Chains A and B, each alone.
Chain A
Amino acid sequence: MNLNATLIAQLVVFFILAWFTMKFVWPPIVKALDDRAKKIADGLAAADKAKADLTLAEKKVVEELRKARESAGDVRTSAEKQASHLIDDARAEAGRIIAAAREAAEAEAGAAAQRAKETLRDQVAHLAVAGAEKILRREINAQVHSELLANLKQELQ
């Protein structure tokens, strides 16, 4: 419990150590701490920004989806319209074709019937003449009565 020169020596050591710490220890550590604090602050800011961006993007996506849905609806509507047009056109065309075909068939059938009628008429006349010839044989002269038969054929028409 005595005082001696240790006091002076300790005092000097005290200041040398403090000087060393001030010069070589404190600044790098404080700098690292400040830098880290800044990094963290920047990171937090970036995270906030990313969150805001995400919200914005989500909003955009919803908007785009709505637009796409709308345009898809438009496309569908117009496609349906076009399809119904096509169907109507096709139906009309088919009707026309059917009518034309029926007409042609009817005309052909009419002509055939006419032809058959005429053939039949010829044959009936021939048969009548042949029958009459067989019955009347001699009395009836084909040349004499051909005029009569032609009249008859005329009447049958």
Chain B
Amino acid sequence: MATEEHALTASEYVVHHLTHLNNTGHAQENIVDWSVINIDSMFYSITLGLLTIFLLWRAAHKATSGVPGRFQGAVEVMVEMVADQAKGIVHSAESRKFVAPLALTVFVWIFLMNAVDLVPVDLLPRIWEGVYAAGGGDPAHAYMRVVATADLSAALGMSVGVLLLCIYYNIKIKGFSGWVHELFTAPFGSHPLLYPVNFAMQMIEFTAKTISHGMRLFGNMYAGELVFVLIALLGSTATVFGFVGHVFAGTLWAIFHILIITLQAFIFMMLTLVYVGQAHESH
């Protein structure tokens, strides 16, 4: 980006950083457009997803009941942690067979996707610009966002997945009619006048759960990414103050962000368990 830097204003730099690489080649114009797909988000989430299951599979493949190695021990600690949480929240051993592994995958996967945020903000986009330019493209249009969880579509995709799971378990545990009955009679009680109110409340509850679940992750990671971009902008002033500020603020924010990425991965996992657990309980 060094050759381009002088041509970019600060706002152009930020906008460039926050534009997805998608199948259209330019920034998405409508708020919702189902014909567009973000190639960068898909690339990073699938790559890290494969890395996640590869690491877990390796640990599982070598797992013995004997003395565990460090890697196996680390994976076992996570498995134990997730299994304990799942046992406390989802009171159905049958459901746990799927929900607990799902929670583990989600935790590791989201952690890795979040952790890409700690890679210097310009490193991966700069490499992509080089590749794009070498392929004959205009580097100014070489968009690349590396944090898949800072993509609203990706974060909501996962929370919608959890919503579908909740609906599935609601129907599986209570039966379709039982669930519909619950939709109209809970939380206020069984009275014809209350049916619409109850149903509205239930819809609001499901919507709020799903939106907040995805938005919480997205918001944290988007804000974190933006702060890293702004800190990089501070460094780009090429003054002593800018340099010292960049090093100081960048270090501080990165250290703080280690907490955020782990915490957000943990929160997403816990809420997945909590929501699925609620789907098992009758109001």
A contact set with B: CB distance below 8 Å: 1-11, 13-18, 20-22, 24-33, 35-36, 38-39
Chain B, range 75-109, C-beta contacts under 8 Å to A: 75-76, 79-80, 83, 97-98, 100-102, 104-106, 109
Are A14 and B158 interface neighbours, CB within 8 A? yes
CA distance A16 to B105 in the complex (A): 10
Once the chains bind, are A6 and B41 in contact (CB under 8 Å)? Answer: yes
Q: Given contacts A4-B35, A32-B68, could you give 11 more A-B pairs where the C-beta distance is less than 8 Å?
A: A3-B32, A4-B32, A4-B153, A6-B42, A8-B157, A16-B49, A20-B53, A21-B101, A26-B79, A31-B65, A39-B65
A7 near B154: Cβ-Cβ < 8 Å? yes
A9 near B98: Cβ-Cβ < 8 Å: no
CB distance from A9 to the nearest CB of B (A): 6
Cβ of A11: which chain B residues have Cβ within 8 Å of it? 157-158, 160-161, 164
Given the complex, which residues of A lie within 8 Å of B70, measured CB to CB? none
CB distance from A79 to the nearest CB of B (A): 60
- Flag if B31 contacts A3 (CB, 8 Å): yes
Q: Do A6 and B154 touch (CB < 8 A)?
A: yes
Chain B residues with CB under 8 Å of A29's CB are 56, 59-60, 63, 75-76, 79
Per the bound structure, the CA–CA distance linking A7 and B153 in Å amounts to 4
Q: Does B6 contact A (CB under 8 A)?
A: no
Residue of B45, B57, B64 near A32 (CB, 8 A) is B64
Q: How many residues of B contact A (CB 8 A)?
A: 54
- Interface pair B28/A25, CB less than 8 Å apart: no
Complex Cα distance A31/B63, Å? 9
B191 interface hit (Cβ, 8 Å): no
Complex: A33 Cα to B76 Cα, angstroms: 8
Residues of chain A contacted by B66 (CB below 8 angstroms): 36
Q: Which of A7, A21, A39 contacts B105 (CB 8 A)?
A: A21
B binding-site residues for A, Cβ under 8 Å: 22, 28, 30-38, 41-42, 45-46, 49, 52-53, 56-57, 59-61, 63-66, 68, 75-76, 79-80, 83, 97-98, 100-102, 104-106, 109, 148, 151-154, 156-158, 160-161, 164, 222
Give the residues in chain A near B97, CB-CB below 8 Å. 22, 26
CA distance A4 to B160 in the complex (A): 13
Does the CB pair A9–B49 fall under 8 Å?
no
A24 with B60, Cβ < 8 A, contacts A2-B31, A2-B33 known: yes
Bound CA–CA A15/B109 (angstroms): 12
